[in-house]
Amino acid sequence: MIPYSHQSIDGEDLRSVREVLESDWMTQGPKIKEFESALADYCGAKYAVVISNGTAALQAAYFAAGIGPGDEIITSPITFAATSNAAIWQGATPVFVDVERSTGNIDAHLIEEKITGKTKAIVAVDYSGLPCDLDILKSIAKKHNLILIEDAAHSLGAEYGGKKVGSIADMTTFSFHPVKSITTGEGGAILTDNENFYKKLLLFRSHGITKDANDFKNDPHGPWYHEMQELGLNYRMTDMQAALGISQLKKLPTFIKSRNELAKRYSEELSGFPDLVLPADFEGRKSSRHLYPIRLSGKLQSRRREVFEKLQKAGVGVQVHYIPVYWHPYYQELGYKKGICPVAEDFYLSEISIPIYPGLSGSDQETVIKEIKNILIS
């Protein structure tokens, strides 16, 4: 089976992890800071905080933003459930706004009508690796005194307006799951230019505890002294993971180049088929190509399950991204109703993600293309 995505691990990655295993540090050692500095430098941000996974990154960002009981966040339903789940864990309420049909990203022109006195943040999801319309989102956030958080789980390495994702929103969260742009096994990060957010993020990932004497609220009892100042969690990354992340980050430009070359070939080979919609390009935005989502429209849309199952049977691993979050039973029980984001629902009912990852060989991609064409003309 050709997977829809797969990590790319080489000898240098293995050596980096082995060096940590043979060192005195297993967790919270020097590799953490090194990875954070490398991430911040790559993205052009002042601060980076690495964390245990992408979901933890979202929850930490919400904590740092002061999101809590009674607050609302505005976000997209075309995302993994973690984007809104993390807000619920903080006691907040997700408010879903419909998406653009052409991108699957939140439709910025529909946001203002959903803003209330309870709205605390806009959480923009870069679906498939294509950045949202960040200029409009920043303008709306500024106008309404909201915090803009970019869920960039898909878009490490992407660019908007000539700037790297990670340097634009008030806070940007990344995921380092094996299918993402780079991997640390599990892992994530939050990037920001805001020192106050940065300090809160550091507290939250480590039980709310600080050992920095400059931040103590009480007089220290001795050199062992530390203070728990917030109710945080253990969301720390290990040095082993950070070492892998440092090694992976060095290869990110090559990974992104490979993904874009694969996407270009798909677009050339699959264009011209009636009722087959391919990902569009947008001036000023460079996608990381985390996904290559094809959409079946017209008469093809009713064949989505058939196409999906035939591709799997032919040895082509495919996936669907995503079931609208509020369609899940948990959200239905909270009172969310189907029909609130009709474009997102239609997007889900038409989408299939086909294989794209740096290690996808030319022959395997040719197989994917051939099988799709065979199904479409049958």
Domain boundaries, the chain: 11-249, 252-376
Q: Kind of pairing, strands 227-228 and 209-210?
A: antiparallel
**154 pLDDT above the threshold of 90:** yes
Q: What angle do CA 172, 175, 180 make, to 5 degrees?
A: 125
Phi, psi of 136 (to 5 degrees): -65, -40
* 3-state SS assignment for residue 213: helix
- Is it the case that residue 301 has pLDDT exceeding 90? yes
Structure token digits, residue 25: 């540090």
What is the rounded average pLDDT of the residues 162-171? 98
What is the pTM (predicted TM-score) of this model?
0.97
Q: What is the mean pLDDT of residues 362-371?
A: 98
Q: Over the Cα atoms of the chain, what is R_g?
A: 21
Cα–Cα distance, 82 to 152 (Å, whole number): 12
Mean pLDDT over the full length of the chain: 97
Taking 90 as the threshold, does the pLDDT of residue 28 lie above it?
no
Strand (E) positions, 70-166? 72-75, 93-96, 119-125, 147-151, 159-160, 163-164
Residues in a beta bridge with 54: none
- Give just the sign of the alpha carbon dihedral 293, 356, 80, 300: positive
Q: Residue 378: which pLDDT band, with cuts at 50, 70 and 90?
A: confident
Q: Which residues 6+ apart lie within 8 Å of 247 measured at CB? A: 12, 13, 15, 16
Average the pLDDT over 214-232 and give the result. Answer: 95
Q: What CATH architecture does domain 252-376 belong to?
A: Alpha-Beta Complex (3.90)
The residue assigned the tokens 């040095």 is 239
Portion of the chain with pLDDT greater than 90, in percent: 98
Q: What is the pLDDT of residue 52?
A: 98
Q: Is the peptide bond before 348 cis (omega within 30 degrees of 0)?
A: no
74-128 confidence digits (pLDDT tens)? 999 999 999 999 999 999 999 999 999 999 999 999 999 999 999 999 999 999 9
- The answer to whether 181 and 69 have CB atoms below 8 angstroms apart is no
In the chain, the amino acid numbered 34 is: E
At the second CATH level, the architecture of 11-249 is 3-Layer(aba) Sandwich (3.40)
Reduced 3-state DSSP string for 260-287: HHHHHHHHHHHCCCCCEECCCCECCEEC
Is the pLDDT assigned to residue 302 strictly greater than 90? Answer: yes
Report the amino acid identity of residue 366. Answer: E
